[in-house]
Structure 1
Amino acid sequence: MARQSWGYQDHNGPEVWHELFPLANGDRQSPIAIKSSEVKYDPFLRPLSFSYDLTSPKVILNCGYAFSIECDDTEDRSVLRAGPLKGSYRLRQLHFHWGPTDDYGSEHTVDGLEFAAELHVVHWNSEKYPCFVDAAQQPDGLAIVGVLVKAGEHNSPLQKVINVLDVIKTKGSQVAFTNFDPSSLFPESLDYWTYHGSLTVPPLLESVIWIVLRQPITASSEQLATFRSLLCSAKGEPACCLLSNCRPPQPLRNRHVRAFFH
């Protein structure tokens, strides 16, 4: 199997991922459609607690199916705690998903509403497991904070990311990127839903405790258009824009979504 045998086009998109990754039909797949009427308030959930070191982010790269800000996770300098989590989860990376227009592009939906994009801030359980790869194989190994993005006002903290995307336009390109606080992209309210799910990209490992923030942030149409101007093709290949990289909601099956708020 080729290293990058999947993507978001008709021939290799989410509809056919199950051919290469049987977990695509698993019982704990993400994203999901969040329905307020089916969510249960859990009084035992705690407020989220995080501490991010500005020097943790190191590079921003175009991996062909998204762009990713990769962080130094050799120490507990940037961590997420509390909320639905037991122990400390170390920051690994953050990336976005988006769609072909401003009307949809989020992976999670809320009461049938789609958003323009979605930010995923990825952490791994550094108290129980020695590294990200090991943690990603365990049911409680990863914790991802999902931030919904709606089209609207210009987002100043996001602009620092937008400004370097032209440098990593082609697949495989990267550039140094540091002095950045991921929480600058969080909304004012940290109310959240939580459930047990999976990575939303292959290999779709069912190891994620999802924390989806209720309040969306905004991005301008110009900023969202910059996402779609990235290429999923490498330098020297025919240019192919990454217009969309979102997986549709998956069956909830026997899972429950809990809310930190009433």
Structure 2
Amino acid sequence: MKGNHWGYGQENGPDVWHKNYPVALGSRQSPIDIPRQVSHDPSLGPIVLDYDHCTSINISNNGHSVVVYFDDTDDRSVIHGGPLENPYRLKQFHFHWGGKGCDGSEHTVAGNSYASELHLVHWNAVKYKSFDHAAAAPDGLAVVGIFLETGDDHRWLHTITDAMYMVKYKGSVTDFKGFNPKCLLPSSLHYWTYLGSLTTPPLHESVTWILLKDPIAVSEKQLGKFRLLQFTGEEEDQRSRMENNFRPPQPLKGRRIRSSN
């Protein structure tokens, strides 16, 4: 597993990431299992997602997930409030999911997983000059996690799944303008929060996690479009379907999980 050749298979998956990324065994790794009982922290206010000016740019397949990127050169799409001291700018969102008939969320709740998990990734532009600087700093990133549970078609998710055929292979990218992720939020923004890490290499311990308690719906048909994506490039001989692209829960190691309600 040299360089950037990490993945989700037996030989390059989460069990061996620590060989190239020793922080994988660190003290604030993500994801985690959220216990059934988490005490309410009255100091936590509501989380506010100001996504009124949509700045999505493109959608891509980075060989690990499908990613929608945003113009993060100003504060037109930010989150603030909750556990955050500053506003954080939206950089991208991506998904994790399982194989057919299998759950694929990264975080679990009382040991139970969901069909998929959406991550909205933001960075602290007040303190840091770039996303890369922020990604390596203890308070650099804030990620909002949203669970997807199998049910009815999600009325807005089709905008993303309908574009997936254009980014089927690793390294492909296409324009994806005018998408506002506000439509992917559940009606309630109650959340759990804890200090953690990126769930993919380089696994920087830089993330304030904000996990929304209420899931959104996704249909099996929509999940099927995620599984048509490929971990591999179009020119590669061996095709590898993109599924089970999640890291299992990591030890809590004494960290405190707080609840907004």
Structure 1 and Structure 2 fold alike (TM over 0.5): yes
- Separation in structure 1 between the aligned mates of residue 44 and residue 163 of structure 2, nearest angstrom: 37
Aligned to 2:156, what secondary structure does the other structure show?
Answer: helix
CA deviation digits over 1:154-193, x for unaligned, max 9? 0011110000000100000010001111121110110000
Q: Please state if 1:57 is matched with 2:34.
A: no
- Separation in structure 1 between the aligned mates of residue 171 and residue 94 of structure 2, nearest angstrom: 15
The equivalent residue for 1:14 is 14
CA deviation digits over 1:34-82, x for unaligned, max 9? 0022x22100101011111454110100000101001111111110000
CA deviation digits over 1:77-113, x for unaligned, max 9? 1100001100110000000000113441000001111
CA-based RMSD of the aligned residues comes to 1.1
- Separation in structure 1 between the aligned mates of residue 122 and residue 7 of structure 2, nearest angstrom: 23
The equivalent residue for 2:111 is 112
Write the letter of the residue equivalent to 1:14: P
The equivalent residue for 1:150 is 149
The equivalent residue for 1:215 is 214
Write the letter of the residue equivalent to 2:12: N
Aligned to 1:252, what secondary structure does the other structure show?
Answer: coil
- Separation in structure 2 between the aligned mates of residue 195 and residue 230 of structure 1, nearest angstrom: 31
1:187/1:215 contact within 8 Å kept:
yes
Q: Aligned pairs, how many?
A: 260
- Separation in structure 1 between the aligned mates of residue 258 and residue 123 of structure 2, nearest angstrom: 21
Q: Cα gap change, 1:232/1:246 in structure 2, threshold over 3 Å: closer, same or farther?
A: same
What's the offset of the Cα at 1:3? Answer: 4.5
- Separation in structure 1 between the aligned mates of residue 202 and residue 66 of structure 2, nearest angstrom: 18
> Identity rate of aligned residues, in percent?
47
- Structure 1 runs of 4+ aligned residues shifted over 6 Å read none
The equivalent residue for 2:81 is 82
The equivalent residue for 1:232 is 231
The equivalent residue for 2:24 is 24
Q: Please state if 1:94 is matched with 2:93.
A: yes
Aligned to 2:186, what secondary structure does the other structure show?
Answer: coil
1:102/1:151 contact within 8 Å kept:
no
Aligned to 1:161, what secondary structure does the other structure show?
Answer: helix
Write the letter of the residue equivalent to 1:83: G
TM-score using structure 1 length: 0.97
**Within-5 A mapping of 1:192-211:** 192-211=191-210
CA deviation digits over 1:121-175, x for unaligned, max 9? 0000111111111111111110000000111110011110000000100000010
- Separation in structure 1 between the aligned mates of residue 235 and residue 8 of structure 2, nearest angstrom: 21
Aligned to 1:156, what secondary structure does the other structure show?
Answer: coil
TM-score using structure 2 length: 0.97
- Separation in structure 1 between the aligned mates of residue 22 and residue 195 of structure 2, nearest angstrom: 18
The equivalent residue for 2:251 is 251
- Separation in structure 1 between the aligned mates of residue 14 and residue 179 of structure 2, nearest angstrom: 32
The equivalent residue for 2:187 is 188
Q: Point out where structure 1 has 5 or more consecutive residues left out of the alignment.
A: none
The equivalent residue for 2:40 is 41
Write the letter of the residue equivalent to 1:101: K
2:54/2:77 contact within 8 Å kept:
no
1:33/1:108 contact within 8 Å kept:
yes
Write the letter of the residue equivalent to 2:260: F
- Separation in structure 2 between the aligned mates of residue 102 and residue 86 of structure 1, nearest angstrom: 40
- Separation in structure 1 between the aligned mates of residue 186 and residue 102 of structure 2, nearest angstrom: 20
1:102/1:224 contact within 8 Å kept:
no
Write the letter of the residue equivalent to 1:48: I
The equivalent residue for 2:65 is 66
What's the offset of the Cα at 1:229? Answer: 1.0
